[in-house]
Amino acid sequence: MTTDPQALNFTTSTTSFNGKKVVASNQSAVLSLSANELVTATVSSQSVPITLAGVNISNAYTNGVAAVAATTTLTLDDAIESTSLSTDPYVQFTDAGGQTRTYFGVSTLGVSGSATFTFDKAATLNEYITLTSYFDGASATVSFKAAARGTTNGSTAGGYTLFAVDDDTSTGDPTSAVDAAANLVAAINSSNGLPNLEAYANRVSDTDATTANGKVYLKARDADDATNTAIALSTVTAATATIIGTAALDDEDGTDFILRNADASTVTLHTDPTKNFGDTSSDDGDHRWILNTRDISGGSEVRKATQALWIACKTAIDAGELDMTITPSTVDTIADGSQVDFLLTQTTSGSAGNTAITLVTGVTASGETAFTGGTAFTDSTSVNPPAAFTGGVDEAVDISKNKWSRKGSAENAAESLKDAINETSSGHGYANGLTATRSGAVLTIVQDVGGTEGNTAVAYNSEFQEICSVLPKAFAGGLAAATPKFGIQYSTNGTDWTTPVEVASDVVANETGIKLFTLPEGVTSYPAYRLVFNYNLTTAGTSGRLTFVGAY
């Protein structure tokens, strides 16, 4: 303990106070922290027989040790929605002022929106699904993209949250499907995912743990019709094949050029130089489109071959047998040259359009034997993702009547209980009441008023115990404020001093001006006394200054 070195003698006489003379000491040095007390020098009780004494705070000192507010916490159980109860659970809180409120958990019509789909193989590389979550009035949207094996689930790149298509240990489609579901759910549950969605992999639902390989079950944590949010998939890509004529076709009588639609149906273009375009007759009775250069004049043999191919394909497309589009759209735009070509595009997008092509002599398809490039997120799902979450119904609970909804997830129930506590009329949301906050399914309730008065009891019924995995205890931790005290010490010789006698403990911080208090009656029985501030050595702050004052 140190004593302020500045002499604080009563030396200055000021104007009177209620007919009394007022004296003051020198101004103190800047108030220090809790290791400092300020005292006057020795004062004679005969020459300065003061009966009122106090402090004049010229620069407001900062607060002492502030009062600490009492708190309590609780955690609602993940199985809250499926728990069967004989009556409504309740929990009861009391604020520092003694006001008690009871909060009843009711089962309402509120339902969380949900969605499911099922992988049947590894996820399709570079395809993505975009999900939107809704909770307590706020929405968040994240796109989850299938990345290569070994990718960390929940990592990010290019604006996407990534998940691995499957795992290195996969041995085939069933195992890969299990991996794809687990990896996507891990990404959704990651810090870069959507924490306000419940996501489950390879099980029927959140309440049914029966194995369902490849299944992804998604459920909103809120119970509201606003949880029926949209689901979008990456833009599907249609398979294509570039057809290139490289030789004449007239001499290729009897060979076939076979194309396959996305539904695996086939269309055969048959070379027969004796027939006209559109003639579907054939020796074996098969339905075939004639492929030849008959009636084509002018241009190179390569161009004639390409035109013949184009006309046969366009005729089959127009007849509805080839489910494709053709580019260019007119044969006249096919240029004459050493190599001429046109593009066929499957109408059905996705991998189903990656069908094989059987080639006739002298014709190629970009050097390949199949349509290629068709991809979609749904290439790897046997049950495709829906267009939106469904089933969400707004909860109908009246928090103004001490009600909260226990329907939906534990997080949803905690949010509803939080709102009921913070409600201003029937809850504790008024001034000097309680304030509840939520993190996940954990609710923290804090007294608005600091001090030991906030260490109040908490009560609940047995039904509340069934839905609460961590029960609330009595509010605890409330501590009273510790402000600097003003006191007086006595001495018979001016050297040895008594223990300080409290004159005032309510020298309010952050207020300037004179604060006078009545001294104990026995002050004149000692020849000497001195005034002391902050003898209890609490934190007074460093910005303030004061002057001791007295009146007699």
Burial 456-491 (b: 16+ CB within 10 A, else e): bebebbebbebbbbeebeebeebbeebbbbbbbbbb
- Band (pLDDT 50/70/90 cuts) for residue 380 is very high
- Provide the residue type at 400 as one letter: S
Q: What is the DSSP letter of 127?
A: -
Give the residue extent of every domain in the chain.
Answer: 2-62+481-551, 71-108+398-470, 114-236, 240-372
- How many whole angstroms separate alpha carbon 135 and alpha carbon 223? 8
Burial 516-530 (b: 16+ CB within 10 A, else e): bbebeeebeeeebbb
What does the pLDDT read at residue 107?
Answer: 79
- Band (pLDDT 50/70/90 cuts) for residue 303 is confident
Strands ordered across the beta sheet of 266-271: 256-260, 266-271, 289-291
Of residues 527 and 367, more confidence is placed in 527
What does the pLDDT read at residue 6?
Answer: 46
Minimum mean pLDDT range among 176-180, 189-193, 328-332: 328-332
- How many whole angstroms separate alpha carbon 356 and alpha carbon 359? 10
Minimum mean pLDDT range among 38-42, 441-445, 523-527: 523-527
Mapped to the 3 state alphabet, what secondary structure does 45-97 carry? CCCCCCCEEEEEEEECCCCCECCECCEEEEEECCCCCCCCCCCCCEEEEECCC
Same fold, 2-62+481-551 and 71-108+398-470: no
- Band (pLDDT 50/70/90 cuts) for residue 5 is very low
- Band (pLDDT 50/70/90 cuts) for residue 542 is low
Does 126 have pLDDT greater than 70?
yes
Tell me the HSE value of 129 on the side-chain side, using a 13 A CA sphere: 32
- Among 77, 169, 70, 173, smallest CA distance to 123 is for 173
Is the CB of residue 355 less than 8 Å from the CB of residue 370?
A: yes
What does the pLDDT read at residue 340?
Answer: 59
Minimum mean pLDDT range among 40-44, 236-240, 290-294, 325-329: 290-294
> Residue 467: helix, strand or coil by DSSP?
helix
Block residue for tokens 């419940």: 198
- Band (pLDDT 50/70/90 cuts) for residue 120 is very high
Count other C-beta atoms under 10 Å from residue 313's C-beta.
22
Cβ-based neighbours of 348, under 8 Å, separated by 6 or more: 238, 261, 262, 263, 323
- Provide the residue type at 189 as one letter: N
- Band (pLDDT 50/70/90 cuts) for residue 514 is confident
Is the CB of residue 314 less than 8 Å from the CB of residue 331?
A: yes
Average pLDDT (493-499) is 90
Q: How far apart are the first and last CA of the chain?
A: 32
| Burial of 17: CB neighbours in 10 Å, binned 0-12, 13-18, 19+ | middle
Query: Tokens in use for 371?
Result: 């349509």
- How many whole angstroms separate alpha carbon 377 and alpha carbon 53? 83
Minimum mean pLDDT range among 245-249, 378-382, 470-474: 245-249
Backbone angles phi, psi at 58, to 5 degrees: -85, -40
> Residue 352: helix, strand or coil by DSSP?
helix
> Residue 19: helix, strand or coil by DSSP?
coil
What does the pLDDT read at residue 222?
Answer: 82
Cβ-based neighbours of 285, under 8 Å, separated by 6 or more: none
Q: What is the pLDDT of residues 129-138, one digit of tens each?
A: 999 999 878 8
Query: CA dihedral defined by 490, 495, 498, 503, rounded to 10 degrees?
Result: 40
Minimum mean pLDDT range among 38-42, 122-126, 200-204, 503-507: 503-507
Is the domain covering 71-108+398-470 a CATH 3.30.70 domain? no
- How many whole angstroms separate alpha carbon 91 and alpha carbon 308? 83
Of residues 286 and 160, more confidence is placed in 160
Q: What is the pLDDT of residues 212-256, one digit of tens each?
A: 999 999 999 887 889 999 999 998 889 998 877 665 554 455 567
pLDDT above 70 as % of the chain: 82
Compute CA 73 distance to the chain's CA centroid, rounded to the nearest angstrom.
21
- Band (pLDDT 50/70/90 cuts) for residue 520 is confident
Cis ω for the linkage preceding 328 (within 30 of 0): yes
Count each helix (H run) and each strand (E run) in the chain, helices first: 4, 35
- Among 372, 436, 433, 371, smallest CA distance to 404 is for 436
> Residue 460: helix, strand or coil by DSSP?
strand
Q: What is the pLDDT of residues 339-371, one digit of tens each?
A: 557 889 999 888 889 998 887 655 554 555 788
What does the pLDDT read at residue 387?
Answer: 95
Q: Which of 100-109, 223-232, 279-288, 380-389 has the highest mean pLDDT?
A: 380-389
What does the pLDDT read at residue 540?
Answer: 72
Of residues 330 and 203, more confidence is placed in 203
What does the pLDDT read at residue 65?
Answer: 67
Of residues 309 and 282, more confidence is placed in 309
Is the CB of residue 362 less than 8 Å from the CB of residue 252?
A: yes
Of residues 332 and 198, more confidence is placed in 198
What does the pLDDT read at residue 203?
Answer: 96
Q: What is the DSSP letter of 276?
A: -
What does the pLDDT read at residue 23?
Answer: 81
| Burial of 73: CB neighbours in 10 Å, binned 0-12, 13-18, 19+ | middle
Tell me the HSE value of 442 on the side-chain side, using a 13 A CA sphere: 5
- Among 363, 365, 348, smallest CA distance to 261 is for 348
Count other C-beta atoms under 10 Å from residue 311's C-beta.
21
Minimum mean pLDDT range among 30-44, 164-178, 204-218, 439-453: 30-44
Average pLDDT (307-313) is 81
- How many whole angstroms separate alpha carbon 370 and alpha carbon 348? 15
Of residues 264 and 446, more confidence is placed in 446
- How many whole angstroms separate alpha carbon 515 and alpha carbon 43? 19
Average pLDDT (512-522) is 78
What does the pLDDT read at residue 195?
Answer: 85
Q: Which of 290-304, 345-359, 434-448 has the highest mean pLDDT?
A: 434-448
Alpha helices in 161-276 (DSSP H): 173-188
Sign of CA dihedral 268, 269, 272, 275: positive
What does the pLDDT read at residue 4?
Answer: 47
> Residue 252: helix, strand or coil by DSSP?
coil
- How many whole angstroms separate alpha carbon 133 and alpha carbon 141? 6
- How many whole angstroms separate alpha carbon 159 and alpha carbon 287? 51
Q: Is residue 462 within a helix (H) or strand (E), and if so which, with residue range?
A: helix 462-467
- Provide the residue type at 295 as one letter: D
Is the domain covering 2-62+481-551 a CATH 1.25.40 domain? no
Does 270 have pLDDT greater than 60?
yes
Of residues 156 and 272, more confidence is placed in 156
